[in-house]
Amino acid sequence: MKVDEVSKCYFGMRQLSAQFALFSKREAAGFLSATFAGHAHMIKTPYYLIDKQKLLGNLEKIAYVREQSGAKALLALKCFATWSVFDLMQQYMDGTTSSSLYELKLGRQKFAGEAHAYSVAWADDEIEEMVANCDKIIFNSIGQLDRFEAATEGTIRGLRVNPQVSSSDYLLADPARPFSRLGEWDPEKIAAVMGKISGFMFHNNCENGSFELFDKMLSTIEERFGHLLEQVEWVSLGGGIHFTGEGYPLDAFCARLKAFSEKYGVQVYLEPGEAAITLSSSLEVTVLDTLYNGKNLAVVDSSIEAHMLDLLIYRLNAKMAPSDGEHSYMVCGKSCLAGDIFGEYQFDRPLAIGDRLSFIDAAGYTMVKKNWFNGLKMPSIVVKQLDGSVEVVREFNFDDYLSSLS
């Protein structure tokens, strides 16, 4: 499929799948009975809704990049690990990459293809099981590489390299921040251990939607580590490259990856997380109460602290579309945290108890970070299949809460 065809397919599906931000009780019931075919009852909120048709648009772009550039794509499980949709995703990707032993085992058991193992620091009691489940291991430091050299003999090994440049706007998420523990940065020290490894991992992009910035940073990597790149067989460029975003120059991206691969004679890997699942999911909630305290407030049956924690950490609002009208509301979560606020949104009429709201783009770093704060009920996980049918694949109850504690 040509890139322009992929784009038309992807953006056409987005238009057809436009999110409704607000439903009355009657409208919500009608919408659910029509869309969730085969379900006699309305699915109880809160729940994450993963739409495979929207997911497919991202996956087709990933497949195009793989075909045109020769790069392989591994799903970054730290961002998204809802294995109920791996049956679709594994058809368009080459495997998974992990940040822990449990993520590694999940990728090995639930996703076809390669399983790459990375951790900021491996513990002694994890090494044997890690080796048994991975195809490649990427050490974060020379110290760990040396320490576990004998235990990983016969396993393909790589090293994380910190190029000391990144695209992150947040110090909290910047792998090149001052005093960073993430990867080795000294070419001389790396050169001394080249006989122990066959590849590198660079992860310095973060929500980077600019091809020009990606190209510039990759050139910096080549300038600093080019003589070492010539000695390895594979290079992972990590995740954080938003190449499935609207208007991203896919052909230029593919050409740059292919040129890099051919110049150094390496297999390139990409580790898309957000790029694989962007705009594919929503968090569906219901208004439980309305108040006024200088502003109109609406309390919903969910919590940004418990169910969209990444947004709270970075002080970002949840996305809602459309958000227009004369009536403004601050939508709040039901936890005891005073700042449990999803954001402020516009509606075409006053909100009422029982109204349904939909926060879009809710797949990345949500389900993997959900928690039991305040003992709030976790959102169910619901999948809309390609044929339009809907399946509740996971529900959580008091027993799950109880078993998470002791």
Binding-site residue ranges? 274, 310
Rounded to an integer, what distance in angstroms lies between the CA atom of residue 206 and that of residue 209? Answer: 9
Alpha-carbon gap, residue 115 to 118, rounded angstroms? 10
Distance in angstroms between the alpha carbons of the first and the last residue of the chain: 53
CA distance 104 to 87: 17
d(CA 152, CA 167): 33
Burial label, 178 (beta-carbon count in 10 A; 0-12, 13-18, 19+): exposed
Q: Are 228 and 194 in contact (CB under 8 A)?
A: yes
What are all long-range contacts of 122-125, with beta carbons under 8 Å and residues at least 24 apart?
Answer: 122/148
Say how far apart CA 167 and CA 373 lie, in whole Å. Answer: 32
Q: Which residue in 181, 198, 180 sits closest to 136, CA to CA? A: 198
Beta strands in 155-215 (DSSP E): 156-160, 199-201
Cα–Cα distance measured from residue 365 to residue 283, given in angstroms and rounded to the nearest whole number:
13
> Residue 356 carries which side chain, given as an amino acid letter?
R
Q: Which residues of 140-161 are buried (b: 16+ CB within 10 A; e: fewer)?
A: bbbebbebbeeebeebbbbbbb
Cis peptide before 322 (omega within 30 of 0): yes
Burial of 69 (0-12, 13-18, 19+ CB in 10 A): buried
Q: Coil, strand, or helix at residue 84?
A: helix
Residue 105 Cα distances to 48, 159, 166, 171, 223, angstroms: 24, 20, 29, 30, 36
What tokens were used for 174?
A: 């910047």
Tell me the β-bridge partners of 118: 138
Neighbour-count burial for 334-351, b at 16+ CB within 10 Å, e otherwise: bbebeebbbbebebeeeb
Binding residues for substrate, by number, are 274, 310
